[in-house]
Amino acid sequence: MSDKIEWIAVDWGTTNLRCFAISPEGQVINTAESDQGMAAVNEKGGDFEGTLLSIIDHWLDPGRNPPVIACGMVGAKQGWQEVPYDEAPCSPRTSLTKVNTESGVIDVWIHAGVKQSEPADVMRGEETQISGFLAMEPEFAGMICLPGTHSKWAKIVDGAIHTFSSSMTGEVFDLLSKHSILRHSVGSDEWNDDSFAEGVRESFEHPAKVLNRLFSIRARDLLQQSDKSGAKAYLSGSLIGLEMAGVLENLSIEEVIIIGSPGVSERYQTALASLNIPTRCFSSGDITLKGLESGYRIINC
């Protein structure tokens, strides 16, 4: 099988590592996934090259070095090799940096991230997803949302990332639901769509009252023994609504493109629908692969 591999795509984040063997026809002919993300590799001494080879070694032939195109936190300061940021406004087809390797059996390039000086912001990995989407729809202009632990919103103008912003929504939800007083009131894994939509609308319309409304989750539980499934959904909706109030303020939005994993993308789609904003959703895995393919084309121009 190895003689059919043209190049290898690698999506290497903080938590996970995903590898794809690509044929000369551009087809995925093999995949491998590991929990050896950047954080885990650093805990074991920082051997990024050895970690990657342990996963893809059986794809390789002696004397043949297939290009490896990588994106994500692997290019961060704590990653394999720190890769400089391109500065917005810029093309999402960012520059690539060749990695210093020791084995001599792979040639590795890592996508640059994107930075913004004012207001200060950075992204690593999301620019590759944006590149993948624009490879499919090069004429698109508008807003792209990339939900996650630190959600990104990027405004696309003339095929470039014009401005973008990050929100710690996912991380704050995790902290509040697991480590704050609210953990006693949002323990159920059940979900209530009406409570979620209520949280979105209230935060979007009255963002200055969010901290008070978050404490009311606990108060209602104590005084009324409220439904905990509604409490968790309300917390999620409140934080996403607050995020959207900051991002969409004073903007005329005709459509939002959402790129992410199915579960979190559906929540953002529901939240935007409650605000009467149409959306289209795309899988982050599929779109990332298209963006990495754009990177492969850069080094083969």
- What is the spatial distance between Cα 52 and Cα 106, in angstroms, rounded to a whole number? 10
Which stretch of 9-23, 54-68, 105-119, 208-222 has the lowest confidence by average pLDDT? Answer: 54-68
**How many CA atoms within 13 Å lie on the side-chain side of 19?**
24
pLDDT higher than 70, residue 227: no
Whole-number pLDDT of residue 62: 78
Instruction: Please tell me what DSSP assigns to residue 2.
Output: G
Q: Provide the residue ranges of all domains of the chain, joining segments of one domain with +.
A: 2-124, 167-283
70-115: pLDDT as tens digits = 999 999 999 999 999 999 999 999 899 999 999 989 999 999 999 9
> What's the CATH number for 167-283?
3.30.420.310
The percentage of residues in the chain with a pLDDT greater than 70, rounded to a whole number, is 97
Candidates 66, 70, 65; CA nearest to 9 is 70
- Do the bridges between strand 256-260 and strand 279-283 make them parallel or antiparallel, or are there none, so unpaired? parallel
Q: State which CATH number among 3.40.50.300, 3.90.1150.10, 3.30.420.300, 3.20.20.70 fits the domain covering 2-124.
A: 3.30.420.300
pLDDT higher than 50, residue 1: no
Mapped onto helix, strand or coil, the DSSP state of residue 280 is: strand
Rounded mean pLDDT, 197-215:
97
Strand partners, 258: 145, 281
Which stretch of 25-29, 200-204, 220-224 has the lowest confidence by average pLDDT? Answer: 220-224
pLDDT higher than 70, residue 35: yes
pLDDT higher than 80, residue 258: yes
Mapped onto helix, strand or coil, the DSSP state of residue 256 is: strand
Whole-number pLDDT of residue 228: 72
